Structure 1
Amino acid sequence: MKYYLIAGERSGDFHAADLMRALRTEDAAAEFRFWGGDLMRAVGGELVHHYQDLAVMGFLEAATGVLKFRRYLKECEKDLQAYRPDVLILVDYGGFNLRVAKFAKAQGLKVFYYISPKIWAWNEGRVEQVKSRVDKMFVILPFEEEFYKRFDYPVDYAGNPTADAVAEFVPTADFHARNQLDQRPIIAVLPGSRKQEIEEMLHVMLAILPPFMVDYQFVVAGVDNLDRVYYQHFERNGIRLVFDQTFDLLSHATAALVTSGTATLETALFGVPQIVCYRTSNISYAIGKLVIKVPYISLVNLIAGHAVVKELIQNDFTARNLMDELKLLLTDEAYQARIKAGYDEIRTKLGQQQAAQKTAALMVGYLKDELKIRN
């Protein structure tokens, strides 16, 4: 069968690549065409656009990119018409993907959604769009099943792919030597994967370094989808950079400073005490406060249902607050124990269920059932 996938971000590329591999085990004749990244390209198929072309951050930034957004949307619509896949599989990235879903549905295409857009956080009204445009939704957070049930829309939860990936990961034995690190405990710095995020976050994260340098080393998780030259002006005063080794870094870290996103869940699943950080433009933040309906921004706290880790957001994200919180994180054993107990709750809720493989099996099963009905 022919599969057309759209992943608009780095984490979507990661999860979509796993799903594609799993689809191949369920459907040996699988053909892929996609909008995504290097991980999806490595699986095989035709890459239409890299997710870097699509990336925006915040409400204001999204608004200023409207013309580019519309251009890519029209291009995607034409490409779908020409390719005529057996199924369109959308991966997160709701602003773009829900519009593509509307077009695809009108063209009579089968539409699956893997990793629900976060409409439970800021726009419950979009549930009606999902119901009318998406044939099957496959969620990766356990509370999403209950959320959609409230709107009489059954979804499939087959586990969380991040939990599976962390459980299967084997740390590299020579991580320190390979990256020229010494034996001081590591504070991992995860500033995000997009330039807009990194510019907002990394200067503040690294400003707190001096009081900790004697006893700790700060190691920044760089990503290869950005030019390494871009990171050079951050690499100073003993700061180390490692590229595309986030899991290895977390497996060796004592504590972490993490930009809100999937990385907060990854950090929790590695058992690393963390501070969740986030800042965007003032206008984007003001708009966000009006529409966001959940009490937390980190997946850690949302899945647990209570505050497990500290969130420093917008005006609270200052060097002073970050320094004070990090000192507490490193020295207060009772605080560390409370965080790790919260992480245990999250692991229990998520489970380890080979999410990508089970989701692929469900998808192929639904498609085969549809073919039987047609024939």
Structure 2
Amino acid sequence: MKYYIISGEASGDLHGSNLMKALYKQDSKADIRFWGGNLMKSVGGDLVMHYKERQFMGFSEVILNLRKVLGHIKYCKADIVTFQPDVIIFIDNSGFNLRIAKWAKAQKYRTHYYISPQVWASRASRVEKIKLYIDAMYCILPFEKAFYKKYDYDVHFVGHPLIDAIANRPQVNEHNFRKTHNLSGQPIIALLPGSRKQEITKMLGVMLSVVDDFKDYQFVIAGAPSQDFHFYKTFIKKNNIQFISNKTYDLLSLSSAALVTSGTATLETALFKVPQVVCYKASSISYQIAKRIITLKFISLVNLIMDREVVTELIQADLNTKRLKKELTAILNPEKREQLFLDYYELEQKLGGRGASDNTAKLIYNAIKND
């Protein structure tokens, strides 16, 4: 059968690649065409457009690049018509995907969605659109099934794909890793400033501002695969700051603490049992708009899933050198770390067991085969 997958960003590429592997196991004759990245490309199929070509952060950035966004939507529709898939699988990336889904449903294509848009965070009215446009929804957060049930929409909770992604990764040899990347024997504090240029620009400078206050630690920037070193180099002013690209999991597995931009990385860091401070800063316009439409108590997935504050969130003006130094000092304290480890264990239990990608692929394949 023919599968058309649309994902965006590095996390969508990761989850999309694992879903593709699972689809190939279910359907040996699967023909897959996709929007994604290098991880999906390494699995097989045909890449239509790389996510690097359509990364925009926040409301104002999307508006400024509206002509380009509309061009991508038009191109995607035309490509789907040419390919004539048996099913279109959307992965997160709601701004783009729901526009395609509306059109696709009207054209009688099967529409399945893996990793729900965060309608529980803002604009819950989009649930009605999802009910109209999406034939099947596969959720990865435990509270989403109950959320959708309030709107009389039955969804599948398949577990969280990060459980598999982290469990299946090759184990890193610490000695070799440190030697390869010229790291000293000091304990590591990982800096995860995000994957988009806009968010890295907002976050990385503040993260680096505390380096001199923690001389017994080695700070290492986790470079995103979507950006090259020359971009990060403009922020690195000191010799004791290291940079490692596209090795975030290996880095986290060896880190004592982390400063993490809000997003999927907060959950990844927690699953590696690394104490963290969550950071978030957007443009003034984007932040003011977000404040008016987002109704959540927390911004990090860790706190949202636990429904209480487990990790500290420094948002907008609170993300400054003084507060960051204070909170980083706190998570290096043994008592605080012990409590975080216990909380992280409870978090992992809430996410369910392994097999999210396999569960989803099986449900999609059976739904098409039996339709």
Match of 1:233 in 2: 234
Q: 1 CA distance for matches of 2:163 and 2:248?
A: 15
CA-CA distance at 1:267 after TM superposition: 0.4
Q: Alignment partner of 2:125: what SS?
A: helix
Separation of aligned partners in 2, 1:45 and 1:97: 20
Distance 1:227 1:339 in 2: 33
1:315 matched residue in structure 2: 317
Q: How far 1:180 moved relative to its partner?
A: 1.0
Indicate whether 1:351 and 2:348 are aligned: no
- Secondary structure of the 1:242 match is strand
CA–CA distance in structure 2, aligned partners of residues 223 and 325 of structure 1: 24
Q: Deviations over 1:134-181 (max 9, x none)?
A: 000001111111111111111111110012222233431121111111
Can you list the C-alpha shifts for 1:285-323, whole angstroms capped at 9, x where unaligned?
Answer: 011000001111100000111000000000100011101
Q: State the distance in 1 between where 2:171 and 2:325 align.
A: 29
**Worse overlay, 333-342 or 290-299:** 333-342
Q: Distance in 1 between matches of 2:362 and 2:112?
A: 13
C-alpha RMSD of matched pairs (Å): 1.0
Q: CA deviation at 1:237?
A: 2.7
What is the correspondence of 1:7-156 to structure 2 with a 5 Å cutoff? 7-156=7-156
CA deviations on 1:206-251 (whole Å, 9 max, x unpaired) are 01100112x1000110123212222222343310011111111111
Q: By how many angstroms is 1:338 displaced?
A: 2.3
Contact 1:208 1:322 in 2 (8 A): yes
Structural mapping, 1:211-226, within 5 Å: 211-213=213-215, 215-226=216-227
- Which amino acid in 2 is paired with 1:364? Y
- Preserved CA contact (<8 Å) 2:164 2:354: yes
Aligned with 1:119: secondary structure?
A: coil
- Greater CA drift, 243-252 or 230-239: 230-239
Equivalent-residue separation in structure 2 for 1:21 and 1:273 (angstroms): 32
The answer as to whether partners of 1:23 and 1:360 remain within 8 angstroms in 2 is yes
Give the superposition deviation at 1:23.
0.1
Deviation at 1:72, TM superposition (A): 0.8
* Identity score, percent: 49
Q: What do residues 45-65 of structure 1 show as CA deviations (whole Å, max 9, x unaligned)?
A: 211111111111111112222
Q: Indicate if the aligned counterparts of 1:34 and 1:46 stay in contact, CA closer than 8 A.
A: yes
> Residue 283 of structure 2: which of 263, 281, 284 is its match?
281
CA contact (8 A) 2:10 2:225 kept: no
Counterpart of 1:295 in 2: which secondary structure?
coil
- After superposition, residues 188-199 of structure 1 pair within 5 angstroms as 188-199=190-201
Any idea what SS the aligned residue of 1:220 has? strand
Q: Which residue of 1 aligns with 2:338?
A: 337
Counterpart for residue 373 of structure 1 = none
> Hey, what does 1:248 align to over in structure 2?
250
Deviations 1:344-371 (A, max 9, x none): 111110122211011101110111110x
Alignment partner of 1:181 is 2:183: yes
Amino acid across the alignment from 1:183: G
Which string of whole-angstrom CA distances, capped at 9 and with x for unpartnered residues, describes residues 236-283 of structure 1? 331001111111111100000000011100000011100000000011
In structure 1, the partner of 2:300 is 298
Query: 1:234 is paired with a residue of what secondary structure?
Result: coil
| Between 117-126 and 225-234, the greater mean CA deviation after superposition | 225-234
Gaps of 5+ in 2: none
The letter of the residue matching 1:210 is D
Contact residue 6 and residue 97 of structure 1 kept, 8 A: yes
Q: Distance in 2 between matches of 1:39 and 1:276?
A: 26
Query: Structure 1 residues 134-143 or 53-62, which shifts more?
Result: 53-62
How many Å apart are 1:44 and its aligned residue? Answer: 1.3
Report runs of 4+ in structure 1 exceeding 3 Å deviation.
none
Q: Is the 8 A contact 2:191 2:259 kept in 1?
A: yes
- Work out whether residues 89 and 113 of structure 1, in 8 Å CA contact, stay in contact via their aligned partners in 2: yes
Amino acid corresponding to residue 148 of structure 2 in structure 1? Y
Aligned letter for 2:133? R
Distance 1:34 1:55 in 2: 16
TM-score (norm 2): 0.97
Give me the whole-angstrom Cα distance separating, in 2, the residues matched to 1:316 and 1:165: 32
| Matched-pair contact (CA < 8 Å) for 1:102–1:133 | yes
Question: How many matched pairs?
Answer: 368
Structure 2 counterpart of 1:21, one-letter code: K
